Chains A and B, each alone.
Chain A
Amino acid sequence: MAQNSTGAVGRNGTGRDPLDVAAIRRDFPILQRRVHDKPLVYLDNAATSQKPRQVIQALVDYYEQTNANIHRGLHTLAEEATEAYEGARAKAATLIGADGPDEILFTRNTTESLNLVAYTWAAENIGAGDEIVITTMEHHSNIVPWQWIVERQGAVLKYVEFGEDGTIDLADVERAVTPRTKLVSMTHMSNVFGTINPVKEVARIAHERGALMLVDGAQSVPHMPVDVKDLGCDFLAFSSHKMLGPTGVGVLWGRREILNGMRPFLGGGEMIEIVGREETTYNVLPWKYEAGTPNIADVIAFGAALDYLSALGMDRVREHEIELTTYALDRIGGIPGVTIYGPKEAALRGGVVAFTVEEVHPHDLGQIVDYDGVAIRAGQHCCQVLSTSLGVPATARASFYVYNTPEEVDALVQAVEGARAIFAAEVSSIVAR
């Protein structure tokens, strides 16, 4: 997959120059689309990101030039496919500072990565009375698998509550994590508040009490530099589709000695070493956890997404989003009747802004701004526990990425004003339709 050399990714990713957003936008065909006859303003990146043509082309190239099953055939196509697939693994390992590619397991998505830990490590290492500590800002995928461990294994699920500003107090973590705690699992970046949680400090607390630390990086890994050695965590889960790659690819990173000590997840081809009539020995990492033919094409295209992001530089991606979020907090916060949730300072949060507008339900808001070409999310964002704790049944959410501009924030603000006009007017003053 030849690296594109146009302006967007051709620059030195280690420099401190801001992103060339105009050049980046030219790499995303979908940004040329019109919605309801308006230019698309895509602000639903926390749900999924758009894909640059380099990623789309990688899929086409794979199916047109390379398509073969991996780790099996001795022919040229199989060798090329295997090399590209394993190359993507190495790129993912480099991105997050893993000790090696063998610590990177490919799954379907972040949800499956979290479930993998629940069905393997937690199934064997958590017993009756043992504690799992999570927070009230977790995505359902970081709640439900642990509730099942509670049901099946008699464990105890404990919640660390978020405060009024959508942040976690480390003193509450200190209190919640005890010597009975076996696992602390926490989102690195909230998909509602945008809060960047102090997972490094939490990992230290977890380890002091003898617990392992799982980090849900679905929102953080796509948007900021993340280094597993720096965080000191034991597992990190994230998804390709939120970071310019295709859907259907997730990553679970785990520390090698832990992954080596766990039983496999799914049984079948590839994950085995020797299969006898009665018993089987297993393949080495990472293939021990990748039973069956994997999602070869999408993993390879994910590799192209990782190339794209590393050429931009994750530090510059983060800088861009701090700048845009600062602007958005100011502009959206300036709309009368708007409440913004989460930390007030962009430096403490990712590029996610959840808000409500007095008199306009988020559903109505989402629908109305769509008519101005603006795509945002409305609802509970797969975080019902957060929603209940906050006492706000639904919010609207704008979330940014590398291709978003201040002008698009302006378009959102203008569309929200339009929605307010529909609902603010007393009905009698609306011209009969």
Chain B
Amino acid sequence: MSLDDLYKEVILDHYQHPRNRGQLADPDVATRGHNPLCGDEVLLAVKMDGDVIQDIAFAGRGCSISQASASMMTESVKGHEVADASALADGFKELMTGGGSTDGLGGNEDLEALQGVKKFPVRVKCALLPWTALLEIIERWETASHRSAAVD
């Protein structure tokens, strides 16, 4: 176990040059993920187009792992259907907290670089923070669209 497993080049790149960092003007769903132990915070917002995540942005403050994970996550799900995003989030959670397989990542090499985090148990929460926020957003969006569909 070495520090290099944690601070890989691709992770530092996402940390120093985050993708999709900022705010959306008119989001459909937004949420705030928070890790009370360390103060890490991720504000996540999405703009939907039917079942597709048309746009996604994150803000907030946190360590390199939570911020790089948020950057990679937004890049991975932007332009994809909710069902795919949800499956990817499950795949990432499986990597971090389950058997450690990267099978659920669909060959996404950036995300695979985060597997080193698994060796540092206290940091797993950091990596998961944006993904937990994404799953919450998906759940809220699905509940809302189901409700409006039922009303129609």
Which residue of chain A has its CB nearest to the CB of B4? Answer: A433
Query: Given known contacts A363-B63, A367-B123, is B9 in contact with A430 (CB within 8 Å)?
Result: yes
Q: Which of A357-375 contact B (CB under 8 A)?
A: 361-364, 367-368, 371
Task: Give Cα A128–Cα B15 distance, bound, in whole angstroms.
Answer: 50
Beyond A363-B123, A367-B123, 16 extra complex contacts between A and B, CB < 8 Å: A362-B38, A363-B64, A368-B3, A368-B7, A379-B37, A380-B36, A380-B38, A380-B39, A384-B36, A393-B39, A393-B62, A423-B15, A423-B16, A427-B9, A427-B17, A433-B8
List 16 A-B residue pairs with CB atoms under 8 Å apart, sorted by A's residue number.
A363-B63, A363-B123, A364-B64, A364-B65, A371-B3, A379-B38, A380-B39, A393-B39, A393-B40, A422-B3, A422-B12, A423-B16, A426-B16, A427-B13, A427-B17, A433-B9
* 0 or 1 for each of A392-429: is its CB under 8 Å from B? (1 = yes): 01100000000000000000000000000011001100
A423–B67 alpha-carbon span in the complex (Å): 14
> Which of A361, A362, A380, A426 has the most CB atoms of chain B within a 10 A radius of its CB?
A361
Residues of A within 8 A of B63 (CB): 361-364
Cα of A393 to Cα of B63 in the assembled complex, Å? 11
Report the minimal beta-carbon distance from B59 to chain A, rounded to whole angstroms: 13
Specify which chain B residues have a CB less than 8 angstroms from the CB of A422 in the assembled complex. Answer: 3, 7, 12
* B36: chain A residues within 8 A (beta carbon): 380, 384
Within 8 A of B (CB), among A97-154: none
Q: Is the CB of B12 within 8 A of A427?
A: yes
Hey, which chain B residues are within 8 Å of A394, CB to CB? 38-40
**A378 at interface (Cβ–Cβ under 8 A)?**
yes
Number of interface residues of B (CB under 8 A): 25
Which B positions have Cβ atoms within 8 angstroms of A? 3-4, 6-9, 12-13, 15-17, 36-41, 61-65, 120, 123, 126
Tally of A-B Cβ pairs under 8 angstroms: 62
Please, how many angstroms separate the alpha-carbon atoms of A363 and B7 in the complex?
13
CA distance A371 to B17 in the complex (A): 26
| B64 and A361 within 8 A (CB) | yes
Chain A positions within 8 Å of B, measured between CB atoms, are 361-364, 367-368, 371, 378-380, 384, 387, 393-394, 422-423, 426-427, 430, 432-433
What 4 A-B pairs come out closest when comparing CB atoms?
A: A393-B39, A363-B63, A361-B63, A394-B39
Least CB separation from A425: chain B residue = B12
What CA separation (Å) do A367 and B64 show in the bound complex? 11
Contact of B38 among A371, A378, A427 (CB under 8 A): A378
* Closest residue on chain B to residue A370 by CB atoms: B3
Q: Which of A363, A371, A387, A433 contacts B126 (CB 8 A)?
A: A363
Residue of A nearest to B38 (CB): A379
Report how far A433 CA is from B40 CA in the complex, Å: 27
Chain B residues whose CB sits within 8 angstroms of the CB of A368 once the complex forms = 3, 7
CB neighbours of B15 from chain A (8 A): 423
Q: How far is the CB of B132 from chain A (nearest CB, A)?
A: 17
